[in-house]
Every structure is written in structure tokens, then in C-alpha cells.
Amino acid sequence: MATVGLSESLFQRGQVCGACFELRCVEDLRWCIPGTSIILTATNFCAPNYGFPADGGGHCNPPNQHFVLPIEAFEKIAIWKAGNMPVQYRRIKCRKEGGIRFTIDGSSIFISVLISNVAGAGDIVAVKVKGSRTGWLPMGRNWGQNWHINADLKNQPLSFEVTATNGLTVTSYNVAPKDWNFGQTFEGKQFES
């Protein structure tokens, strides 16, 4: 319920995934619930529909700054049958429980890591991975907060260095044990929120 899809102009090709926003309904007292706001984490992309103009049905078309909310979240700030509502939003620090989560996938020649539950800035600009038989290796962004590297890192514990958009870095040593497997999720250190 606390997730949101963003239009192209906000999504920034997935770089903003993980960022947190506070939204409140504005301008329409008939449909807005006064004095309410919601906090959401950006997780999805609202694709443009170029079959419609930006001001005539293409809500996620550039230059629109559009948020696609789950029904449960929308109903905290507005009456559901209102449909699309103007909102006021601001970027805020993310507050998360527990550590940063690293979900490892891939094959014998590459690994892909989905990084989630990131406090503070919420979104990430750089990731490095270190096995017990390697130095620190920079990972590339695949999409959103999925990061990858072409390397065989099986049978060695993995450490991660994560840098957020605010420039802060957190290092989680030996998060994944030597016998980790694809599909597993591990929890590391956390940024202060």
C-alpha cells in the first residue's frame, strides 16, 4: 500500500526508485480529505500513453508529474470516485525498519542484486560488491535498484557498499555467507533516517 508509480518526468529512468514522497490532495475540497497526507515509496513506472495528449488522458506523458497510487493509499487523502486529483508533493527522508535488503539473482557468470528497504535518501547512485577472493567491484545499474556485474562470485561471502543520492555510503561486510544461493535475500546495515 505504501508504494507509488511515477510518470516519466519523475521516474528518471528508474534512478528515483526507493525515494520517499509525502503527498496530499489539494484544490478540490469536494473530494479531498482535509488535513491528511500519505508517505509513499517510489517503486514503479507509469508508462506514457502517446495515444492521448498530456492534458487529455495521457496522465503519465511528459511533462506531467503524475503519481499512480494504490486504492488504499488514495483513499487516505481523497474520495475514490474523484479519479485523478491534483496533489501537492515533496521528497522526504525514508524511514525504514531493519537493514538494507539485498536479493541476489543471476547465473554462474553474473549476479543481479535488487536493493530495497533503504532509509535516508532511499535511492541509490552506486553499488560495489566484494567477495572473499576479490577486491571491491563496481556494479552497474540494470533498472531501478537492480544492480548487476559479470563475475562469478559463488562460494564466497559477499559484502556490499551502497552510496545514496545524498552522497552517504554504508558498507555491509559479509552480508551473504559463503554458501549463499540465487533467490535469497540478506539484510545489511542501514543508513540513519
Percent of the chain with pLDDT over 90: 84
In three-state secondary structure terms, 184 is coil
Domains of the chain as residue ranges with CATH = 2-92 (2.40.40.10), 100-186 (2.60.40.760)
Report the chain's mean pLDDT, rounded to a whole number: 93
In DSSP terms, which residues pair with 20 in a beta bridge? 41, 92
Q: Is the pLDDT of residue 83 over 90?
A: no
C-alpha torsion angle, residues 59, 25, 32, 18 (rounded to 10): 80
**Rounded average pLDDT over 23-30:** 87
Which pTM value belongs to this model?
Answer: 0.88
